[in-house]
Structure 1
Amino acid sequence: MILMVIELSDFLSRVESVQYTIFTQKFHSSVHKTLKKNNGILKKTDNNNYWVSFNSVNDAIQCALEVRHKFKYVTPKHKSFSRRLQMALTVSNKAETSSFTTAARLCEMTKDQVVIVEAVRDLYESKNLHAEIDKTLIRVLNPKEEEFLIKLSAYLSNHWANPDVTVRTLGNAFGLSYSQLHTVLIKLVGKTPNKVIKDYKLHKALELLYLRDGSISKIADKIGFSSPSYFSHCFLKKYGVRPSKYLQQHAV
């Protein structure tokens, strides 16, 4: 069985205008139609994620390509819209939830819009002897790349609140020099080591703000930023809105 995770990867959920609402409606309608067409079995969904299983690898690959193709036609064209579509496909093992979690972590970390593990590619090409995966549309992760991304996601998930997490400690965790770490992160994640750490912390800060889990200064301290003002500067640079403004937009 092939498992696919579809993720609208930008957590930023500002007060939505009509255009954003229309996007959401169009996107979900498009995904549901595409899943039905390609015999996808919906296991779990919310406003930003889909967990789907397929009995046929051909159906899974075709579905991923169709969702990818249709996404650009339902996406608002204005510059302030920043949601990105990410998809990852893996082969199910006995622990299906664990396999879905693996795919979700690949979605979270990779820079490529659609990624599959080698086992999915091999299964697809064994079913289609005269066809190959189009690598301009789908990134095939080798086992070492897959393992690295999963471990990276787990490491950041476990250490994001640690103010002592640095590029050096991250490199040490993987046994890599700075240059080696920089090379592999640019290749797989599309970011420098420092930006990987900072962006992950800001993502967690966004979740904490959204959940009203403490004041801005307490959240800045919790994610390991040296000062609330520096945190506010970084948050504004990444999300286009200051933390204080974001809280106003989501006042309860």
Structure 2
Amino acid sequence: MPVFMDLHIGQGLTAEDIAMAHQMDLKIQGDFDCKCLTYWFDKERGNAYCLVDAPSKEAVYELHRNSHKQLPDEIIEVDRRVIKAFLGRIHDPEVVDYMIDQKIKVFNDPAFRVLLMLRIRDRQRLVHELGEKKAGEYLNAFEKVSQHQILKNNGMAAESGKGVTVATFTSAIQAVICAIDIQNFLHNDLEKIDLKIGIHAGQPVEKNPGLFENTLRFIRFICCFENSSNIIVSHTVTNLMESAQNSTLLNSPSVRCISKADENFLKSLIEVIYNNWQNPLFEMKDYLNTMSMSKSQFYRRCIETTGHSFNRVLREYRLHQALEKLMKTEKNVAETAFASGFNSPSYFTKCFQKHFNIHPSEYLN
């Protein structure tokens, strides 16, 4: 049976409200063929997220409507394995704040998470450049260091493979410490493995339907375009650390903090690119139609935030998407080129080889 997460945003609920609502759901869940697994409640932001085994979104909605009438703002289907990887559990936590009438558990466990992304050259490219043995040594060293530091700093490895590792943290300071420690331990290997580190934070569901999709899109993007070995920290994370009076680590020479204005600009840029990268006819003028910005202003902002022109950002984003397609699908080079927004396989091949230092057909094989 599918698993759904429903979200209640800014409805003025308290931890006790959510606990009692969850108990009401449990009493009648069988009437709707549902099984209420657990919930998360974020007192600071006033948001709640419920996890339910159900035959459909409609069943979840009707369950809430008939039990307590606290209707969800949105319901999305999720993978329970992904939920556990990113949020750490799919059942109620073992430790609760207190009990109501000795039977209703009350806890304040936010679903807000800080995400750390580590991106390195994938195995195919490392083998191509260094040979099987040396590539294996670098990859083993990276995996050993990254996994150890993630666990040491109370993080959870949520995704790993194909050159990308994502870890989740409940603390911004621990995520930043983890990133600095990983970079320090691997300082001799940074150039060879081309380590990129990005840190951002967010709710499990925001504007886009995938779990932590907005947060993941943002750090994937900044990890693609950062040319140095800096640790890139979003303004959202910087703000969390400043609020907790733990911002001294951000003064490290290896850390680059994104300003609030740059983060907002990048979010809008990412949204437009994500929605249009497969369209070979999409151009900068199409984007400017959605922004209150002149061409010269936009060009300057794009250079300031990414280090590249818009056309280059779009092209390199398409190349990274093409790289992932070659890893995961059975498409040939021409099919991958067209599916990635290129209207010429030969031009795609030229750009791919220049950017990744390997011919796409060689990479595919």
**What letter matches 1:49 in structure 2?**
V
Distance in 2 (CA, whole Å) between partners of 1:167 and 1:69 is 39
Contact 1:12 1:206 in 2 (8 A): no
Provide Cα deviations, 1:154-185, integer angstroms capped at 9, x if missing partner. 32222111111112223333343222222122
- Which shows bigger deviation, 216-225 or 122-131? 122-131
Shift of 1:43: 3.5
In the alignment, which residue of structure 1 is the partner of 2:347?
230
Question: Which of structure 1's runs of 4+ aligned residues deviate more than 6 A?
Answer: 96-99
Higher RCO (Cα < 8 Å, 6 or more apart) = 1
Contact 1:9 1:83 in 2 (8 A): yes
In the alignment, which residue of structure 2 is the partner of 1:171?
288
Structure that is richer in strand per residue: 2
- Map 1:44-193; keep pairs closer than 5 Å: 44-75=159-190, 81=192, 83-90=194-201, 92-93=202-203, 95=205, 100-110=212-222, 111=226, 113-128=230-245, 131=248, 133-134=250-251, 136-193=253-310
Contact 2:176 2:199 in 1 (8 A): no
What runs of 5+ residues in structure 2 fail to find an aligned partner?
A: 1-111
The change in CA–CA distance for 1:69 and 1:176 in structure 2 (over 3 A counts) is farther
Q: How many correspondences in the alignment?
A: 243
Contact 2:205 2:213 in 1 (8 A): no
Provide Cα deviations, 1:162-219, integer angstroms capped at 9, x if missing partner. 1111122233333432222221222221211111111122222223333444333333
- Which shows bigger deviation, 130-139 or 238-247? 130-139
TM-score scaled to structure 2, two decimals? 0.57
Out of 335, 343, 352, the position equivalent to 1:218 is 335
SS of 1:115's partner is strand
Which protein has the larger Cα radius of gyration, Structure 1 or Structure 2?
A: 2
Shift of 1:62: 1.4
Structure that is richer in helix per residue: 1
In the alignment, which residue of structure 1 is the partner of 2:119?
8
TM-score scaled to structure 1, two decimals? 0.79
The change in CA–CA distance for 1:131 and 1:83 in structure 2 (over 3 A counts) is closer
SS of 1:174's partner is coil
Shift of 1:9: 5.3
**What letter matches 2:139 in structure 1?**
T
The change in CA–CA distance for 1:103 and 1:9 in structure 2 (over 3 A counts) is farther
Distance in 2 (CA, whole Å) between partners of 1:214 and 1:54 is 36
Distance in 2 (CA, whole Å) between partners of 1:240 and 1:206 is 12
Shift of 1:135: 6.2
Shift of 1:8: 0.9
**What letter matches 1:61 in structure 2?**
V
The change in CA–CA distance for 1:26 and 1:144 in structure 2 (over 3 A counts) is same
Distance in 2 (CA, whole Å) between partners of 1:55 and 1:216 is 41
The change in CA–CA distance for 1:98 and 1:56 in structure 2 (over 3 A counts) is same
Contact 1:5 1:104 in 2 (8 A): no
The change in CA–CA distance for 1:120 and 1:240 in structure 2 (over 3 A counts) is closer
The change in CA–CA distance for 1:125 and 1:221 in structure 2 (over 3 A counts) is closer
**What letter matches 1:181 in structure 2?**
F
Distance in 1 (CA, whole Å) between partners of 2:145 and 2:327 is 27
Contact 1:51 1:100 in 2 (8 A): no
Distance in 2 (CA, whole Å) between partners of 1:44 and 1:160 is 24
The CA RMSD over aligned residues, in Å, is 3.0
What runs of 5+ residues in structure 1 fail to find an aligned partner?
A: none
The change in CA–CA distance for 1:54 and 1:169 in structure 2 (over 3 A counts) is same
Provide Cα deviations, 1:1-46, integer angstroms capped at 9, x if missing partner. 6512223155683373211111111111101121222222333433
Q: Are 1:34 and 2:144 an aligned pair?
A: no
